[in-house]
Amino acid sequence: MPRIKIAPSILSADLSKVNQEIRDVEKYADLIHVDIMDGIFVPPTTVDSDFVKTIKTKVPLDVHLMVHEPSDSYIKRFIEAGAYSITIHEEACKNPAKQINFIKKNKIKTGISIKPNTQLDKIKKYLDIVDMVLVMTVEPGWAGQKFMQSIMPKVMELRKLKPKLDIEVDGGINPVTARIAYDEGANVFVAGTSIFGKKDRAAAIKEILSALK
């Protein structure tokens, strides 16, 4: 299995002082997860590429686009804003290969994500061209929801198919649920509430890491 990575999600951080918030997790985070919501694919809206530009950190930015049919120029803005990886949603794009190929052409990492009710079959044809699959363990759109254990068979099947692929889980991840997902084959763990909801963020990350030992 590829190496374990922890990706604190700034959706649960205080965005009015985002760089200070990121400093709290920088030492232990492998990625900073940035949720982009458009109010169409998911009801809420969040930050945009101009906001992403203001993020100052050496930790790679893992951009999760919960966005309906993102255009090349829209994606490009996040690349210019410093994204390390961009993940699109299978359900949001008519032909996800278009967006995947555009992201790849720009030489950054690319991921595809599926919502809880989307079957793995829908993305099997992309598994050889992406760097990561983001398996949503809650309905996208909100932090603080309960981890859906019923998603785990998808993670297990995916790991069987792709022993070396980064498999990211997102939604309701804490030390207990991270361990459950890890045992099924996930290796990248997004966590919002269970890290930024705590006073001691470093301790919160260490707690997740020690549950994975």
Of 14, 24, 35, 50, which one is the catalytic site residue? Answer: 35
9 makes contact with ligand DX5 (CB under 6 A): yes
133-163 CB burial, b ≥16 within 10 A, e <16: bbbbbbebbebeeebeeebbebbbbbbeebe
**What is the contact mask toward ligand DX5 in residues 115 to 154, using x (rule: CB under 6 A)?**
-----------------------x-xxxxxx---------
Select the binding partner of residue 134 from Zn ion, ligand DX5, none (C-beta < 5 to 8 A, by kind): none
Q: Where are the beta strands (DSSP E) in 83-131?
A: 83-89, 109-114
List 24, 62, 166, 170, residue binding Zn ion (CB under 5 A): 170
> Using CA atoms, how far apart are residues 62 and 9, in angstroms rounded to an integer?
9
Query: Which residues, including other chains, have CB under 8 Å from residue 208's CB and lie 6 or more apart?
Result: 6, 173, 174, 175, 178, 189, 191, 194, 195
184 makes contact with Zn ion (CB under 5 A): no
Q: How far is the CB of 147 from ligand DX5 (least distance, A)?
A: 8
Is 170 designated active site? yes
Residue 183, token pair as written in the block: 């045992």
Nearer to Zn ion, 45 or 105 (CB): 45
Q: Which stretch binds Zn ion (CB under 5 A): 74-82, 121-129, 151-159, 163-171?
A: 163-171
Is 121 designated active site? no
Q: Show which residues are catalytic.
A: 35, 170
